[in-house]
Structure 1
């Protein structure tokens, strides 16, 4: 069975359908779909897109990790965060099946391991091996699946602690894990996260920042990590790295990569959003 990793959909339903049709035509055998998170928001059809992935998951054909936009939806649904001007979540909030969709979404993992590949929405801190990252992701999943998940969402936001410490406990520990796996782009060589740089694929000279995957000595460097989130970086295929966010919602492409042979399938996308309109939640 083939496996296809798919980049950020962000509510681009028509393009998702086109990509899935091309995968079906290309695969010519049973296949599985693993989405890199940010299923919804900013594109025109968030509800239809969420329903599409949910239906595929119910059929045992797909799964997804959580992205920052997915977590934002969970917070908005529970009145913890307001909708942003650029959000396209209204159709989900008003949907009759909202409860069913939200319950499924909150039970999605932060990280998935499949056949020697680790899928995460944004990145991993350099101190983490893949094994440790999966355990830490499991801590967050346990909280989001618990009766106290809404209370936890109230403590989820903030940029601190910006660096990992095994001694972290409680909300600080879980917030650090979430920030790394759903928001990380740049960090220092020591693993201190930076959330100011959002619209560039490279850090300014002298900033001391590097892309998280280029930190020397990164503990997960020997494993293949697949991620989305970073549209300014674009599609990147390296021996142990696959970056999948090719800017569908910004007029780029929606991308899928086959795990078994690294073959690439892409569809062109109209610009639903202009780069100048990006916000810190992208």
Structure 2
């Protein structure tokens, strides 16, 4: 009887330990997702209290809206170039920090500052530095004779999206570099010693010994980068609010504007469901590729 009571207490304690994270996930993730799905099938306006069921009309309106497709194209470029840039910079930096040289620890600490800074502070700082009249970036470039006139970094339609993306990458890449560095520290030195004995040069050692060990870190890093970039509202909204026109606008900014500037909550919920579906598709593709690579190795 005592043993049964002890086992029951242990079981109850185990469930009690996992209860807080389960409640947090349920309240802040699961319930809002189902609420957004339900909301997207109604016509809900913040100012007009009347609520009526409209079925798929919100989705049809969005999919037939040319502005949505412009912003969708911006989002695809944002994710594609963002993931590529973040992984390349993170990989290069991780390999560099793995080398032994003087002040290595100091440089590591300085490089990881962008990651620990709040996204709001990063966006405001870069918006000030990129200001066309008082920004420090223009001043430095002009003193170096690299430009003759001040550049409107956040007002030029052809470059504004990539300028915002640069800031987003600048904030994310230290985390990817940290993942790469941690993985490199876990690679046995015997592999490189065996490769050197076999006469492998630097690039052969990297491609056949180092890179296969980094596939897991790169795959997880790519997946996390996609998630962060697809929810990167703060950087774009603070720096440009999606302007000029819609040239730097991405789906999270469109969701906010639709909900709290146009007051159309149902359409915003429908756009958020499209964004969530894209995120789910990207995640499943990357996990499928990773699983295939893992089985192959």
TM band (smaller chain): under 0.3
Q: Which structure has the highest helix share of the two?
A: 2
* TM-score, with structure 2 as normaliser: 0.21
Work out which structure has the larger RCO, using CA pairs closer than 8 Å and 6 or more positions apart in sequence: 2
Q: Which structure has the highest strand share of the two?
A: 1
